[in-house]
Amino acid sequence: MSILLVSLLFGLCACGNENGAAAGGQDSPAPQEAVADTQEPETAGKEEETIENEEPAQGNTEQESAVAGTEAAAVTQAAAGDTAAAADTTSVETAESSAPGSNALAVYFSRVGNTDFPDDVDADSSASIRVDENGLMGNAGQIAAWIADEAGCETMEILTEETYPVNYNETVDQAKQEQNVGFRPMLKADEKAVEDYDTIYLVFPNWWGDLPMSVYSFLDSHDLSGKTVNVFVTHEGSRFSGTVGTIQELEPGAEVLEGLAVQGANVTDEEQNIRQWVIDHRN
Ligand SMILES: Cc1cc2nc3c(=O)[nH]c(=O)nc-3n(C[C@H](O)[C@H](O)[C@H](O)COP(=O)(O)O)c2cc1C
């Protein structure tokens, strides 16, 4: 039954979305295989993970073939680009200090801010792209904005030096290739002095059952020891996957807490839940 529900959900999310930015849809990657390449398999036994683990059985063959066909190119890219390339740590010196009285920062990564969409992108037909007074906004950005509003803090976006393709399927393929080789995208300089904050709300989309590789770049370039890291994931069925545990492994000195897993297609319905989580957990 859950297979049918997730399949139906992905189908609905992809429907009428020319940019394909709404969701995994039929393009939804195979989280289990993706994770197997780079880290421990996801924690078994969590009910929420059952949905994710069932989904790939619904026919990712085509997706996997497409990924396999381009894997060699990914390896070349990684070799040329130096897989160890990490974020620009010099940003710490130049970034703004935290605002007086605020000890929290909402850090997010989203496909939207990392893609050069044309001005006439059809945001109306996409569940993942919306327009507000600041321009285009993705699901992770929207979640971070609500968190920041409720926590009385600022936001900071994780931005890659190289943008992702406008075409959704191409982004999905590239993300898989990056994951396969453990690629660490170069990041633009941080806009905030991350080390100055005590609490980090970390918001990102589930990409192939894992953190986007840009979030690995971010974590590689910061020691979050002594901080509380509240993890919020937006997804289209996979929920957290193993991301909370992965972040805890990467930041052993931090207290990493599971925040909320917010389905992208329903993000606007989740505003109150997100705000309430912040109220319930802020110091
Ligand atoms: C490259 C890529 C990989 C994705 N992989 C998954 C996945 O494994 N599981 C899932 O539930 N959703 C997956 N999605 C869907 C996104 O997590 C979801 O649409 C999210 O709400 C997008 O957030 P954003 O608008 O901030 O980018 C993927 C999307 C992309 C672009």
| Tens of pLDDT, residues 48-92 | 333 233 333 222 333 333 233 333 333 233 333 343 344 443 333
Q: Give pLDDT tens digits for 26-49.
A: 334 533 333 333 333 333 223 333
Residue range 170-187: average pLDDT? 98
What are 135's strand-pairing partners? 132
Count Cβ neighbours within 10 Å for each residue of 184-213 and write b for 16 or more, e otherwise. bbebeebbbbbeebebbbbbbbbbbbbbbb
Nearest to 201 by CA among 276, 114, 143: 143
Six-digit token string for 95 = 């970034």
* Nearest CA, atom 21, ligand 1: 264
Helical residues (DSSP H) of the chain, grouped into ranges: 2-14, 31-38, 47-54, 61-81, 91-94, 139-151, 168-181, 213-220, 243-250, 271-281
Write the DSSP symbol of residue 187. Answer: B
Give the atom of ligand 1 at the shortest distance from the alpha carbon of 208: 8
Fold assignment, 104-280: Rossmann fold (3.40.50)
Instruction: Please work out whether the CB of residue 63 comes within 6 Å of at least one atom of ligand 1.
Output: no
Q: Please compute Rg for the chain using Cα positions.
A: 18
Nearest CA to ligand 1 atom 9: 238
The predicted pLDDT at position 269 comes to 97
In the chain, pLDDT over 70 holds for what percent of residues? 60
pLDDT, one tens digit per residue, over 211-250 is 999 999 999 999 999 999 999 999 999 999 999 999 999 9
Task: Supply the pLDDT for residue 252.
Answer: 98
Expressed in angstroms and rounded, the spacing between residue 10 Cα and the centre of ligand 1 is 11
pTM of the model: 0.73
Tell me what the mean pLDDT of segment 173-191 comes to.
Answer: 98
Q: What is the pLDDT of residue 121?
A: 77
* pLDDT at position 95: 55
Which ligand 1 atom is at minimum distance from the Cα of 206? 17
